[in-house]
Structure formats: structure tokens, C-alpha cells
Structure 1
Amino acid sequence: MSAHPTGAAGFLHRYEGLRMRLPGARLPFVAALRDQAAEAFRTQGFPTRRVEAWKYTDLRPVADAGFDEALTAVDSAPDLPPAHGTARAVFVDGRFRPDLSALDGLPYAVESLAMALPGLDGRLGALARVEAQPMAALNTMLFEDGLVVTVPAGAAGGVLDLVSIGTASERPEAFHPRHLIRLGAGASLTIIETATGPEGARYLHNPVYEVEVAAGATLTHARLQQEAPRAFQLATAYARVAEGGTYDNFTLNAGGRLVRNEIHTVLAGPNAACHMNGAQLLRDGQHADTTTVLDHAAPDCASRQTYKTVLMGRSRGVFQGKIHVHQVAQRTDGYQMNQALLLSPEAEIDSKPQLEIYADDVKCSHGATVGEIDAEQLFYLRARGIPEPRARAMLVEAFLKEAVEGVQDEAARAALDAAITGWWEKAA
């Protein structure tokens, strides 16, 4: 049994006990941010399904779990997933592990958030909205570490692996990493993030990302969510893209018991672009929620969203996508598509696309489809001697291909392809 109360009260109790020991406790701007977040979380608590944005996702399993503070041994050496690039930043139970990382000789700066806090006044919390997103408030209240990435103007950063491993098994633990990513004008970087944990691990991984893409810069952020089967992940990302910049985000939800991927992106300058694509691959008992809010706040911007969900057994998927076109955002080109493939009569998908348009000269569209594997296509493959499991795998992979093809970076696309193939081989 946990030594602390459960629900919001448990996390607030922990904050009161840890507030003077958390990183940055003696920095006035950090203390003020934490106190503001604590008050917001005290007011909001864990959102219920009566809150419209959480209508399809019930957080009672998270609120009732009674998490404790992560107490990973500093000399533990968990198995690491395969590397996709030469640079790697590793976090174990939310804490940066320089001994497992490889960050020498990079053309940009990568720092532990806990160590970099004195220089982050005005940057930390600049994009996150703790008054509106309770999980961001919880993160701001209790973060201990994270990654601070700063790519100078014009630099080509290559590929950075960001690895998060949850290890708790004896008792459920919670960690709240805060990642700040900033690209200077004309810079480029690809981040391939893998979140994972061993079979029996029980934990809450509650990351928040604040992403700034300057004029003409390009950030590719591929997230492979492969958490332990009993784990929870509640991720909130905020991105702001300046004139001519591009933010390319792909999230693969394949692990965890209950996960939510929430992305808020603002296209703040003319000719900015955003690609927010993803796939949810769900087995029996899993629940995955992707929620996106895309603000077209400048003219001549383009956005593309393609999300695919494959559901097996008694699983449930959610997609909520809102495109908000401000009055100033003339000549907006926005596209959004959500498609689901049901492999079981017990699977369920909830889809809620939204358009809110205040400009006159726009081209925006959205759509949603739900279906099963095409019996004729399956028969065609079987008739040519392909075994049924392989035939089904081919059709599922073909269904997912469109979403993955939207990823421009070759290394990120290859990593996603491998993760999708690996998931199906295990699930089939």
C-alpha cells in the first residue's frame, strides 16, 4: 500500500513534502512556477469525463494507483533499445543518466534540465498552459529533470536518440520529465524518442515538451511509445513554429495500459508548416488517446494530420483533433484525417475532428473512417498461397503505410517502420 494519499491529494501531498528539495527550489522563478502549477492542479485535480477534452478517457486508474517517488539506484544499468543515431540521451525513471548517454562532440548544446535551471528564466514554462492542462500542471509542480536542447542558427544537428526507461516493479512510481527544445533560425534536428520499460514495471510517465522552432528551421520529432504493459503515459507537447519553419511530429502508441498524447501547436509566422501524424496499435485491454490542437495564427501556413488506429481484442482508441484558423490566417491550407481498423468486434474507437475557422480565404478539410479488414483483399492474398496471419499482417501494414510515409526524415521513418513491424509480429 502507498504511504501517501491517492488521486490529486497524493501528488499535492508529495509536493508539499518535496518542494524545498526539488531542483531549483532556491530560484525564485522556478519556485513561482511550481507554486502556480500546484494551485492550478489543486483547482483542477485529475480531469473527469465530464470535462469535454477528456470525455473519452477515464483517468481513475491513474488517480487511484497511489504512486510513490521514483527511487532508482544510481548504478542500475537497464537494457537500452537499439540506437538510431550517434547521439543519445538516456533517462531512467525520469532522471538523466550521463553514464548511459553519448553526447560528446555535438554541434549543439544538450544539458540536464536539473543542472541548466539557473539559465532558463523566461524559457521554462513559456509555452505550457498549466491553468488549462492539468497534466502539464502536475509536471510543472513535480518535475525533477529533463533535457534542454539548444541548436544554434544554421546548425545541422543530425539525429538525437532520447530514451526513457521506467523500472518500478515493487510499487508504482511516477516521474515527470520536462524537455525544452529550441532550434535557431535555419537549424535542423531529428529527435527519435523511445519510451519503454520491462514487462512487470508499474509507473506513470508524465512528460511535458516545450518546443520552439525559429524561422526557416526544421524539427522532426518521432516518438515511439512502447511503455511496459502495466504502465501509464500522459504526454503533453507544446510547439511554436516561426516564419518558414517546419515541425514534423509522429507518435506511435504501441505500449502501456492507458496512454494519452496531447499536442498543442501554433503556426506563428507566415509560411510555417506542421505535420502531426501518428499510429495507435492497441491490443486487448489497452486504451490510447491522441488529442491535437493546431492553431493557424499566421497567413500562408500549411498543416497535415494523418492518424491511424489498429485495434485488437477489447481495446479502445480515441482521436480528437481541432484545427483553429484565426482571422489573420488567410490562405491557410489544412488537412486532417483519422482512420481506424477494427480487428475485433469488441474494439472501440471514438473520433472527434473539429474545424474552427475565422478566416475567409482558406482550404481546410477533415474526415474519419472506421472499418474492418477487407474480406475480398484477404481472400485474394490467401488464394495466392499466403498464410492468413501473414496476409492479415500485410493488410495492416499497408493500412499504416500512409501515416508513416508522411515522415520526411529517413532515419525516423525507418525507426517507425521497424517498430510497427515488430508490434504486429508480437501481436499476431
Structure 2
Amino acid sequence: MNTISPDRSGPLALFSQRLEGVAGAERQQAVAALQRVGLPSRRVEAWKYTALRALGQTSLAAPAATYDVMAARAVLDDVLAAQDTLAGLPRLVFVNGRHAPELSVLSEAIKVTFFVDTLRFGTAAAPDRDPLVALNTALAEDGAQMQVEAGVDAGALLLLSIGLGGQDSTFSFHPRHAVVLEAGARLALLCVQAGQGAYFHNPVTDISVGNGAALEHVTLQLEGDAAVSLGTVYANVAGEGVYDSFALGVDGLLLRHEVHARLGASRAAVHVNGVQRLGATQVGDMTSVITHAAPDCISRQTVRNVLDGHARGVFQGKVLVEQIAQKTDGYQMNQALLLSPDAEIDAKPELEIYADDVRCSHGATVGALDDEQLFYLRSRGVPEAQARQMLIEAFLDETLALIAHEGAQALCRAMLARKGGVGASA
């Protein structure tokens, strides 16, 4: 039997009852890793700006085996109504971390198995290095494992994760997803995380993009108002493959979207872009580590934040260029628009380069709405609220245009429009 060390009195103690007695070698190794290091505190460099206080102090149990079907369907209908083209897409729906077949519509072009049946954890994720992945490894119950065969264009798939919480964050779920694109395959994966109330959502996604394959991966964090969502993505990209990632953070008490992407062979490309539109006391964290492990590869990263109230945004982006990765072309930019004197952005772009024939750049900018532009619009009869909205739209529009899939881009714009971030059309 595994016993959690008594000195782990922080967030890890919330899971102590569930971690005791987990079965299986991989799960036990994950628990052992958690025993050694606990869950991350702000003393850990990668979590310097993001505390886990939002998890609360109540033990986080497993969700109930049943759920409110009408409430889950209402969340699904709300997402589909935001962009009418989504209704015709195949979809995989999970409620509180478990597959909901009655809400799902499978695709013939994608081979789908489920973690609950296979217990395959994948090879890219590293529980010994990342405590949140270790926690997922120990407690994962279900998840989708998606495979597209060589040369197949599978179109688009909606992966919807619904959290149905209560007034207090008393349960957590830890989906374990995997995506495998064989050589020359193509897929647009739209991951929508939506919900109601309070819960802890800790998904891990293991991605493999084969030679010449292309994955567009769009993640929308539309969690419950009191929810905590800490997602981790590992992506390995083979020669001439493309991993095109975009994350939108809108709803939730604490949001973190962390991407580890590795360019493993020549002429691979990785894009890790995103937008955060936060207000009140929300905290949003976009963290990435892009590793160039082969020559002649490209990476691009553009993240923009619009922060109001007492919201705090975090951007941590690291580009690591190994010695073998000559002819690397890497670009990274984070920009933040602060709408309140109480809003805060913590930006930490990094380059770590061991090759000598590269072209890499990074940067960060922080500012407020331009008073001259605001005055110009108001002097032409535009009301102040509308003028502010127009400037916010202009700030975000260029980044949203990086989403190639029209339906996914339209959905992001619609959700931002609800938040007061950007109009529903380009």
C-alpha cells in the first residue's frame, strides 16, 4: 500500500485517500514521484507565477458514477449553438472525465479506443518530471485515444469535456487522451472544455504527428466559474510534420495550458499560439517548452492577453535549440493589454540555444488602451464602451486569424464576444 508522506500537507493532501492503494506499476511509480516532490508550489520555477490555492482545502474525491444528463446536454447544446457548423461534426463527449456515448457521434475516419479499456498511458508524457502528469497517471479513469491512418484526411473532430460541479470543489477528474497521426494523415481536433460550478480538471494529452502529417489542435477553456483547469500537452513531431496549436482561455477560476512540443526530424514545424481574455480575479497561465531536436525546423508562438479587473495572466515560453538543430527558425511573442490598473501580466519568454546557425527571436509588450485612438473614435460619435470594444477586437483579431479551421475560429470569436473580447465575425 502507498502512503502519502505526512509532510505533504499542501495541495497533494487533497488527494491522499485516492492515491493510497492504487494498482499497477505505472500508477505506483507516479505515486512514488508525487511522494518525493509533492504538487508544485511557487518555489518551483515553472510555477513561480501560478499558485494552486484555488484548489481549496477540501479533499477532492472521484466524481459520481452517474451525472445529470439534462445538464450535460444543456452544456453541449450551448457549445453547438455558438457555431452552427459544429453540429455536423463527429464528436466525443466526456462528462466529469468519463466517456458519454449517448452524447457522442463517432467518425468512421478516426479509430477511437478508450483509456478505460486499454490503460495505455503513452510514451511522451513524463510523470517523473511533471507532478500534474504524475497525478493524472495515478488517477486517470478514462480518455479518448484517437488514431488516423496513413494518408487519411479525417476532417474535424469535436472533443468536448464537460464538468458538472457543485458549489464547492469536492471532486476532480483526470482524462488521459492520446492522438496518433500516421504518415501523411490530417486532422483538425477541436477540444472544448466547458462546465458549470466548481471542480478540478487535470487532462493530459499525448500527441504523435508522423512524417508529413498535420494536426490542427484548438483548445477552448470555457470551464465553470469556480473551476480549476490545469492541462498538459506533449507533442512529438516527425519530419515535415506540422503541429498547429491554439488555446483560448476565457472561463474558469484558475486556468493553465501547458505545451511541450518536440521537433524530432528535419523540416518539422510547430505553432503554439493563444489568447487569454480574463477578468475579475481569474488567473490564466500559458506555458510552453518547444524543443528543436533536429535541423531545419520552424517554430512560431504568438500569445495575446486582455486582462480586466484583478485578473492575472502568465506567459512562460521557452525555445530550446539543441546542438544538432542547425538552421533553426524560431519566433516567440507575448503581448498584453491591461484594461484595469489592478490587472497584472507576468511574462517570461526564454531562448536556450546550443547551435550556432539559427534565427531566433522573442519579445514581450505590455500596455493599456491607446488614449489617442480612443479619443479619435469618440470624436466621431462612437460611444466609449463601443470604442473600447473596437480597440480590443483590433488587438486580438490578428492572433485569432492564425486559427486555420473556420469553424474553430468562429467558435473562438463567438465565445470572446460573450466575454466582451471580440466580435463574432472577422
Match of 1:91 in 2: 94
Match of 1:27 in 2: none
**Of residues 98, 111, 114 in structure 2, which corresponds to 1:112?**
114
**Of residues 143, 147, 156 in structure 2, which corresponds to 1:146?**
143
Structure 1: segments with no counterpart, 5+ residues: 21-30
Structure 2: segments with no counterpart, 5+ residues: 1-8
Where does 1:3-402 land on structure 2 (aligned, <5 Å)?
7-16=11-20, 19-20=22-23, 31-62=24-55, 64-74=57-67, 76-77=69-70, 78=72, 79=74, 80=76, 81-82=79-80, 84=86, 85-104=88-107, 106-117=108-119, 120=120, 124-169=121-166, 171=168, 172-198=170-196, 201-402=197-398
For residue 251 of structure 2, give the secondary structure of its aligned residue in structure 1: coil
Structure 2 contact 301–332 (Cα < 8 Å) conserved:
yes
TM-score relative to the length of structure 2 = 0.91
Structure 2 contact 259–288 (Cα < 8 Å) conserved:
yes
Structure 2 contact 13–59 (Cα < 8 Å) conserved:
no
Q: Distance in 2 between matches of 1:75 and 1:46?
A: 31
Number of equivalenced pairs: 404
**Of residues 403, 407, 414 in structure 2, which corresponds to 1:411?**
407
Letter in 1 for 2:134: A
| Cα gap change, 1:329 to 1:45, in 2 (>3 Å) | same
Q: Distance in 2 between matches of 1:425 and 1:412?
A: 16
For residue 20 of structure 2, give the secondary structure of its aligned residue in structure 1: helix
The percentage of aligned residue pairs carrying the same residue is 49
Moved over 3 A (4+): none
Q: Measure how far apart 1:157 and its partner are.
A: 0.8
Letter in 2 for 1:107: A
Q: Measure how far apart 1:6 and its partner are.
A: 7.2
Q: Measure how far apart 1:390 and its partner are.
A: 1.4
Match of 2:417 in 1: 421
Bigger mean CA offset, 303-312 vs 7-16: 7-16
For residue 197 of structure 1, give the secondary structure of its aligned residue in structure 2: strand
Structure 1 contact 72–93 (Cα < 8 Å) conserved:
no
Structure 1 contact 153–184 (Cα < 8 Å) conserved:
yes
Q: Distance in 2 between matches of 1:67 and 1:426?
A: 36
Q: Measure how far apart 1:258 and its partner are.
A: 0.9
Structure 1 contact 215–243 (Cα < 8 Å) conserved:
yes
Q: Measure how far apart 1:57 and its partner are.
A: 0.7
Q: Measure how far apart 1:170 and its partner are.
A: 5.2
| Cα gap change, 1:426 to 1:313, in 2 (>3 Å) | farther
Letter in 2 for 1:248: D
Bigger mean CA offset, 299-308 vs 169-178: 169-178
Q: Distance in 1 between matches of 2:287 and 2:67?
A: 35
RMSD of aligned Cα (Å): 1.7
Q: Measure how far apart 1:75 and its partner are.
A: 6.2
For residue 380 of structure 1, give the secondary structure of its aligned residue in structure 2: helix
